[in-house]
Amino acid sequence: MELTLDCKKRPEGSKPNALRREGRLPAVLYGHKGNESVAITVDAKAAQMLLKKASVNNTLVNLNVADLPWRGKTLIREVQTHPWRDDIYHLSFFSVGAQESLQVTVPLHYVGTPVGVKNEGGALDTVLTELEVSCSPDNIPDTIEVDVSNLHAGDSLHINQLKLPANVEVVADGELVVATVLGKGGQVTAEAEALEAEEAAEANTETAE
């Protein structure tokens, strides 16, 4: 998904509170022309609408800076808000036009009902809700589908078992658990308990040595 946002170069000496009273928000664009950063402003209502559709570090935003002039693809890197209200205070954008690959955060979408839940009285425990991946700016997936339908009670699904879109690579350790099915009553099965005991014994042995 790609979105578009118009913005302006921030006037020198302008104060954040004065900008907000005018219905604009201070922001910064970096990565533009190498490491150069540019102070910009965006319409407050347009920013609110953008954030209803876009996700930080995931959604491509075509940024138009009218008085540079500059247009390019960016990612929202940071959103600063009021400490106890939902008011947006500041936005940061990162230019991705010159980047061959990026590290972005992609939400996980779980599909299917595990066998261990349907037939064995287990409970699904989703350990991860998002995943950091590396891909090109034009190949950022909206979500990564995680099929848990074949998991039995005591089974775990690891990152290296996920089916990823083409040209998308995981940044995290492939052995990390994505989801697991706990045994009946939300307890781990005897097999899982035995594995935990074995790992604990190995750790104690290494410590003793």
Domain ranges of the chain: 2-95, 102-208
Cα–Cα nearest to 180, from 172, 171, 188 = 188
Q: Are 71 and 41 in contact (CB under 8 A)?
A: no
Give 111-152 pLDDT, tens digit per residue: 999 999 999 889 999 999 999 999 888 788 888 999 999 999
> Which tens digit of pLDDT belongs to each residue from 68-106?
777 888 899 999 987 777 788 999 998 887 566 888 889
Strand ordering across the sheet containing 169-170: 144-147, 102-111, 130-135, 169-170
On whether the CB atoms of residues 39 and 68 are closer than 8 A, the answer is no
State the Cα–Cα distance between residues 110 and 102, nearest whole angstrom.
Answer: 24
CATH superfamily of 2-95: Ribosomal Protein L25; Chain P (2.40.240.10)
Helices (H) and strands (E) in the chain — how many of each? 4, 13
Q: Are 42 and 7 in contact (CB under 8 A)?
A: yes
> Is domain 102-208 classified as CATH 3.30.70.1290?
no
The reply to whether the predicted model has a pTM over 0.95 is no
Cα angle vertex 59, ends 169, 174, to 5°? 20
